[in-house]
């Protein structure tokens, strides 16, 4: 086997270029998801300061409602910036995405509470979450499109797995930083100002990867589907409409993955802290361990998909996930041991659900309208089913109908498989699937 030193200079340069691109792309993605998840993890601290009501559950649910509203901005971000990315290129939009996330995260870190500026505290907080929604509305689909266009043939799922690992690293880092903060800062100080520390960490990290993304190569006009000039907006949307069944499939491919993602990363931890009053340090520690397990499995999922084909791996893994969703029914009353088991059993569920969905979604659209189509489908799926999952979990649990939530998740997963198969049979699935 040839060693690295025996490779041609051109091959070596291309390999290094891909590594740098993956670092800038994946690192920025990690920071985006760190910033996004920190709010959800700290909702039980944010609620009393910005939406005081006297009830810890109500205050947390109010903060989670703002969390859900942020998702509603994602379709708008996908529509505006997805179209722009399909017309003028990927890199400039990536820089906007991470820049707006850094700005909004720093504002949240410094935002005075309701006791200081009254109702404006909640209004500004909501505005920041909407800006973050615009940013994440384009970040994930743009990354998915970029990876499909950048990856060498036969390594699409593996590259997608690397980016998923970065995403998970951001989510795990959010849990880890929250855990370390609650371990070091006294409970009263944590409730007063300590919760701001993770937001400051995220904003500073974002500046680093904003600088690194300046050198990302452009991929819009370097794939097999070339365009002589930037596409008109009408043309981009005409192509999205032409692939409307694929768009619907993307919505549910994303919905099934994101509903589970936010159940385990946000819903269950907040249920443990606000409804069952579990120890916050332990909750963050268990969430972090679960996230590390998920991250460790992502590369294996990517390699398996490239070896067995993306389509087969997606269908088989999504169907296998359906019965595993019902493990959430085990956590119906306080108990850290049960919480730990549910979180750790959920790790492979999340790995096989989240490890492929971005790549699968990107293979459903052609290059000329990929970011717009994937972005719109992604935003609708996340806003309608991902962002609402934590609220729905707590609400159903409060009503004594906790059994309904895993049924809901199972239906989303089954619909995603059905629609994907319909698109696949029409021959519309692309890029080595």
What integer pLDDT is reported at residue 17 of this predicted model? 67
The model's pLDDT over 2-43, given as tens digits with 9 standing for 90+, comes to 443 444 444 444 555 667 777 888 888 888 889 888 998 888
**75-104 b/e with 16+ CB inside 10 Å = b?**
bbbbbbbbbbbbbeebbebbbbbbebbbeb
DSSP label of 369: G
Copy the structure tokens of residue 107.
């504002």
The model's pLDDT over 219-260, given as tens digits with 9 standing for 90+, comes to 665 544 444 445 555 677 888 888 889 999 999 999 999 898
The stretch 124-147 carries a mean pLDDT of 85
Element holding 175 (H helix, E strand)? helix 156-184
The stretch 94-101 carries a mean pLDDT of 88
DSSP string, 261-315: HHIIIIIHHHIIIIIS---HHHHHHHHHHHHHHHHHHHHHHHHHHHHH-HHHHHH
What integer pLDDT is reported at residue 3 of this predicted model? 41
What integer pLDDT is reported at residue 224 of this predicted model? 46
What integer pLDDT is reported at residue 12 of this predicted model? 42
Distance CA 260, CA 266 (A): 10
The stretch 85-89 carries a mean pLDDT of 78
Angle, nearest 10°, between helix axes 9-41 and 119-150?
Answer: 160
What integer pLDDT is reported at residue 222 of this predicted model? 52
Residue 49 has pLDDT above 80, yes or no: yes
DSSP label of 399: H
| Residue % of the chain over a pLDDT of 90 | 19
For 74, 111, 131, 134, 234, the CA distances from 379, given in Å and listed in that order, are 5, 27, 14, 9, 20
Residue 109 has pLDDT above 90, yes or no: yes
Nearest to 376 by CA among 266, 250, 285, 264: 250
Task: For the chain, give the mean pLDDT.
Answer: 82
Copy the structure tokens of residue 198.
């993770």
Copy the structure tokens of residue 224.
């097999």
Residue pair 350/386 in contact (Cβ under 8 Å)? The answer is no
No. of helices (H) and no. of strands (E), the chain:
19, 0
Highest mean predicted confidence (pLDDT) among 5-9, 87-91, 343-347: 343-347
What integer pLDDT is reported at residue 427 of this predicted model? 67
For 140, 149, 376, the CA distances from 301, given in Å and listed in that order, are 19, 20, 25
What integer pLDDT is reported at residue 225 of this predicted model? 47
Distance CA 376, CA 379 (A): 5
Nearest to 68 by CA among 286, 357, 386, 310: 386
What integer pLDDT is reported at residue 233 of this predicted model? 57
What integer pLDDT is reported at residue 255 of this predicted model? 92
What integer pLDDT is reported at residue 302 of this predicted model? 79
The model's pLDDT over 400-428, given as tens digits with 9 standing for 90+, comes to 888 899 999 999 999 999 999 998 877 65
- Per the model's pLDDT, the better-predicted residue between 200 and 86 turns out to be 200
Alpha carbon of residue 260 to chain centroid: 11
Distance CA 198, CA 193 (A): 11
Highest mean predicted confidence (pLDDT) among 253-262, 294-303, 347-356: 253-262
What integer pLDDT is reported at residue 32 of this predicted model? 87
- Per the model's pLDDT, the better-predicted residue between 166 and 222 turns out to be 166
What integer pLDDT is reported at residue 154 of this predicted model? 67
What integer pLDDT is reported at residue 228 of this predicted model? 42
What integer pLDDT is reported at residue 428 of this predicted model? 56
pTM of the full structure:
0.69
What integer pLDDT is reported at residue 252 of this predicted model? 95
What integer pLDDT is reported at residue 111 of this predicted model? 93
Distance CA 402, CA 276 (A): 14
The region of weakest confidence among 116-120, 222-226, 356-360 is 222-226
Q: What is the 3-state secondary structure (H, E, C) of 303-355?
A: HHHHHHCHHHHHHHHHHHHHHHHHHHHHCCCCCHHHHHHHHHHHHHHHHHHHH
What integer pLDDT is reported at residue 9 of this predicted model? 46
Distance CA 60, CA 387 (A): 15
Residue pair 290/414 in contact (Cβ under 8 Å)? The answer is no
């Amino acid at each position: 086997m040839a060693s690295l030193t025996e490779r041609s200079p051109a091959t070596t340069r291309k390999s290094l270029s891909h590594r740098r691109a993956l670092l800038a792309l994946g690192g920025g993605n990690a920071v985006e998801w760190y910033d996004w998840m920190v709010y959800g993890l700290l909702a039980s601290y944010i609620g009393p300061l910005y939406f005081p009501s006297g009830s810890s559950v109500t205050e947390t649910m109010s903060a989670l409602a703002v969390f859900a509203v942020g998702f509603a901005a994602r379709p708008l971000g996908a529509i505006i910036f997805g179209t722009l990315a399909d017309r003028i290129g990927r890199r400039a939009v990536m820089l906007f995405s991470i820049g707006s996330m850094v700005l909004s995260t720093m504002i949240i870190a410094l935002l005075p509470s309701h006791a200081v500026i009254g109702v404006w505290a909640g209004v500004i907080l909501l505005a920041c979450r909407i800006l973050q929604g615009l940013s994440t509305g384009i970040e994930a689909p743009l990354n998915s499109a970029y990876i499909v266009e950048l990856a060498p043939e036969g390594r699409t799922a593996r590259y997608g797995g690397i980016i998923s690992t970065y995403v998970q690293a951001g989510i795990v880092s959010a849990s880890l930083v929250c855990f370390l903060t609650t371990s070091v800062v006294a409970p009263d100080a944590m409730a007063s100002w300590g919760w701001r520390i993770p937001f400051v960490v995220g904003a500073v990290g974002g500046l680093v990867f904003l600088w690194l993304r300046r050198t990302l190569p452009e991929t819009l006009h370097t794939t097999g589907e070339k365009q002589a000039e930037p596409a008109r907006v009408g043309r981009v949307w005409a192509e999205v409409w032409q692939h409307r069944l694929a768009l619907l499939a993307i919505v549910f491919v994303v919905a099934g993955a994101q509903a589970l993602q936010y159940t385990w990363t946000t819903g269950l931890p907040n249920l443990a802290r606000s409804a069952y009053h579990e120890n916050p340090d332990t909750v963050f520690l268990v969430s972090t361990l679960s996230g590390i397990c998920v991250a460790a499995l992502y590369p294996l999922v990517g390699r398996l998909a490239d070896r067995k084909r993306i389509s087969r791996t997606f269908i088989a893994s999504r169907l296998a996930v359906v019965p595993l969703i019902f493990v959430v029914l085990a956590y119906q009353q306080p108990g850290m041991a049960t919480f730990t088991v549910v979180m750790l059993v959920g790790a492979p569920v999340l790995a096989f659900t989240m490890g492929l969905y971005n790549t699968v979604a990107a293979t459903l659209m052609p290059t000329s309208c990929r970011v717009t189509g994937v972005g719109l489908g992604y935003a609708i799926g996340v806003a309608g089913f991902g962002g609402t999952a934590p609220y729905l979990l707590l609400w159903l649990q409060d009503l004594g109908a906790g059994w309904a939530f895993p049924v809901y998740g199972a239906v989303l997963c089954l619909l995603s498989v059905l629609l994907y198969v319909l698109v696949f049979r029409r021959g519309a699935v692309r890029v080595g699937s």
